[in-house]
Every structure is written in structure tokens, then in C-alpha cells.
Structure 1
Amino acid sequence: MTAILYALGAALIAVIVAFLKGRMDGAKLERAKRAESEKKARDIADQVDNDLGAVPPATARKELKTWNG
């Protein structure tokens, strides 16, 4: 009888460990996706900043007015 209880306890612990490991792996994957997305967004923002810095202020104001309607 105690052998069955030990086996059930071990099985329960194994399931819990597998569940927690799966959650941790999923969290790592999500963090990696988010980091990649943020890197792409930062690259685009840097490119926009560089493009705006290359345009003379008067021209930039003129072009921005067309965006406002």
C-alpha cells in the first residue's frame, strides 16, 4: 500500500515539475519574442530620428503640416 502511495506521490511531483518547466520555457520564448519586437521597433525609431535629423527644420515643419491635415 505504501509503495502505491509513493508511486502516486512521485507521479504527482513529476507532473507538477513538468508543468512548471513548460511554463518557464514558454515565458522564456515570450520574452525572446518581445525583445526581438522591441529591437525592430527601436531600429525603426532610430531610422526615423536619423531621417528627421537629415531634413532641414523648415522642410520638416512643412512636411509635418501636411500630416496634420
Structure 2
Amino acid sequence: MVRMRMPSNRWAPGFGHLNFQEPLRVLTALGYTGFISAEVLQKPSFQEAARKTIRVLREALSIPLR
């Protein structure tokens, strides 16, 4: 299990100021295959934050959208 805590304003990926791709790229390069979750604010809305988080995580981890 890996837990990463990065200083953040906790907005969803793409809305805040963090580069989510680099830490995810490193985890992938290290062969990590466990779970990944994100704790983000529900802004601008729950649905938009969830959509954006899922999209960024899938793209960063090269997981095709269904």
C-alpha cells in the first residue's frame, strides 16, 4: 500500500495547482498495481469533480475509457 499526501488546495485534478501525472507516472514505472483514490473538494460540483478526477487518473495511467 502506498499513501501519498501532497500539499494541495484539494481541488480535483485539472482544477487545482498540482501536477497529478508525474506521481502517477512514477508509481506506474515502479510497477505499482494497487488501488488509487483521490480526496477532492466537490467543486465546482460533485459530478464535475468526479468526472474530471476519473478522466485525469485514467489518462495518466493509460486506462481506456469505456
- The normalised TM-score by structure 2 is 0.27
Greater RCO (Cα-Cα under 8 Å, separation 6 or more):
2
User: Which has a greater percent of helix?
Assistant: 1
- The normalised TM-score by structure 1 is 0.26
